[in-house]
Structure 1
Amino acid sequence: MLHAKMKYRCSVPLIILALVLVPVNCNNSTAETCYHCSMNNPKASTLGPELEGMSGYKRCCKGEVRDYFKSTHYKEIISNGTSVVVHENSSYEHYHSFISACAHYQPYGFGNTYINGNFFGDMEVAAFLAHVIGSKIYCGKKVATMEQLAQGSCYNEEINFNSNYCDERYQNIYPCVPGVEYYGRGPLPIYWNYNYGKASKDLSVDLLSHPEYIEQNTTLAFQVSLWRWMTPIKEDQPSAHNVFIGYWEPTKNDILANGDFGATMKVLYGDLVCGQDDNLSMENIILNYLNYLDTMGVTQGARSREMFSCAN
């Protein structure tokens, strides 16, 4: 489903994930507030504007992630997969950290969105977690624990970085703090001073001066990862959230993947994962997404593989 076209005013060249040169959205802003679903019809909103070019299509939000995503789901997802090692006594704590982080973005539609009567919330939670713990990540020579992923304590060793990820072109807006390094932190990590600066504004936490807060607080680590999921980064491209629920309108020259989940990989990773035919990284993320849907009891129905892939 294709919906409202997203427009951005400003772009400058930046490096995403320390590797790919792309133009990015420099608007302050971020996720769009979602209208609450009508009380008379919980699957439709009469408050929101009709979406451009899609008469009758409306987005609305209702409920909370914790209503359908339980601690047993979370434990099974991280225990049965091969992506990370989870400590038995920490899964319950991490679940509540995740739920608390979700609550921050539920007003913007994370995990509780309806589009024209179709609920996308449970599928979106599975999709987000597939990216967060969907591929096997190593810390040194061992598979990372959930604690290490949440705290970002492996990324400096994993990437073997030789940069503090300070882009001096943003010194007037997001000045780098002397001695601070802006390497990847969080389960779905953010990099560079400008991303730390923008996330600071949205989350009202001074991550530009104190990025270590992400390593010290699991709820904040999940919030930062959800910020990346919910926020448009690249110019004229939607957020992973909007492209997943179909709340955008591509142009004829759009290079995103064909399907909703496949397009999230294109938004988040670009050519690092996509456009390389079938590859292990992409296959692991897709497999985990499908497994997580099964764990949550979500039926996908008959869908072509192209809806999940970004191989081409």
Structure 2
Amino acid sequence: MAALGLKKNLLTLIPVVILALVLVPGNVKGQNSVADIVTDDFFNGILNQASGDCPGKSFYTRAAFLSALSSYNEFGSGSADESKREVAAFFANVAHETGSLCYIEEINGASQDYCDETNTQYPCNPDKKYYGRGPLQLTWNYNYGAAGNSIGFDGLNSPETVATDPVISFKTALWFWMTNVHQVLNQGFGATIRAINGAIECNGGNPGAVQSRIQYYTQYCNQLGVAPGDNLSC
């Protein structure tokens, strides 16, 4: 009777397991998923490129990234090579923006004015600062406002949440990526630079910064065993 009871229990669990697998986003589960690509070794390899006293080392985690990723099913949802290139492109820009996940907040960011007073949809809170925070260093009141509305936090009145909640921090980076960058991936890595900071860096604006992003990208493509493709610069 014990064996029969065990069989019944297993039969009861099978639908639950199947349902759980269905509910897990495709970009997090399965072969060649983003979770398979962004292994502990890959993620920690980025962290280890930064110096030992970096605040980001105790803030940015692979678990926080994967938790944030569950809200963005289209990230890394292409073919195996396309997924690897998107991961490489995302983390290349992240590594450049944060010094290999070293910085949570922009250095001397509080001294910068990132308030666009012409944007009436997302008016600045005069007591808050909208300098760079998070993996892609989210800036400007209109980005904080829109990201907050999409993700579910008060971006205009509590922008510091991006620097205190690691999952929301990664969500802002993925929100910005999926809103502004994902759609230009087929144009080459250079298009991702243009979408993120093209007005300042591209067309000779800051060739050193462009080269830094390209170096990270080619390094990560090599690690992931995928060709970087054409049009690397902007």
TM-score (norm 2): 0.76
Say which structure is richer in strand: 1
Number of the residue aligned with 1:38:
none
Work out the CA distance in 1 between the residues paired with 2:144 and 2:62: 24
Work out the CA distance in 1 between the residues paired with 2:127 and 2:60: 32
2:182 corresponds, among 196, 217, 241, to 241
Work out the CA distance in 2 between the residues paired with 1:97 and 1:188: 15
- Closer/same/farther in 2, CA of residues 293 and 176 from structure 1, 3 Å limit: same
Number of the residue aligned with 2:40:
71
Work out the CA distance in 2 between the residues paired with 1:263 and 1:92: 29
Work out the CA distance in 2 between the residues paired with 1:277 and 1:92: 32
Counterpart of 1:224, as a letter, is: T
Number of the residue aligned with 2:195:
267
Count of residue pairs brought into register by the alignment: 204
Number of the residue aligned with 2:51:
85
Q: CA deviation at 1:133?
A: 0.7
Secondary structure of the residue aligned to 2:46 is: helix
Counterpart of 1:161, as a letter, is: S
Q: Is the 8 A contact 2:68 2:171 kept in 1?
A: yes
Counterpart of 1:166, as a letter, is: C
- Closer/same/farther in 2, CA of residues 291 and 206 from structure 1, 3 Å limit: same
Work out the CA distance in 1 between the residues paired with 2:206 and 2:127: 41
Q: Is the 8 A contact 1:75 1:91 kept in 2?
A: no
Residue 101, structure 1, aligned to residue 68, structure 2: yes
Q: CA deviation at 1:97?
A: 1.1
Q: CA deviation at 1:62?
A: 4.1
- Deviation digits for residues 22-50 of structure 1, max 9, x if unmatched? xxxxxxxxxxxxxxxxxxxxxxxxxxxxx
Q: CA deviation at 1:212?
A: 0.9
Unmatched tracts of structure 2, length 5 or more: 1-24, 29-33
1:130 corresponds, among 69, 92, 108, to 92
TM-score (norm 1): 0.58
Unmatched tracts of structure 1, length 5 or more: 1-60, 138-143, 232-238, 247-258
Could you tell me the percent identity over the aligned residues?
A: 30
Q: CA deviation at 1:299?
A: 2.4
Number of the residue aligned with 1:221:
169
Q: CA deviation at 1:87?
A: 6.5
Q: CA deviation at 1:156?
A: 5.0
- Closer/same/farther in 2, CA of residues 270 and 123 from structure 1, 3 Å limit: same
Larger-gyration structure (1/2): 2
Q: CA deviation at 1:277?
A: 8.5
Number of the residue aligned with 1:120:
82
- Closer/same/farther in 2, CA of residues 189 and 262 from structure 1, 3 Å limit: same
Q: Is the 8 A contact 2:81 2:226 kept in 1?
A: no
Q: CA deviation at 1:224?
A: 0.8
Q: CA deviation at 1:92?
A: 9.8
Say which structure is richer in helix: 2
Work out the CA distance in 2 between the residues paired with 1:291 and 1:203: 31
Number of the residue aligned with 1:29:
none
Q: Is the 8 A contact 1:74 1:91 kept in 2?
A: no
1:168 corresponds, among 117, 128, 151, to 117
Work out the CA distance in 2 between the residues paired with 1:93 and 1:175: 29
Q: CA deviation at 1:125?
A: 0.9
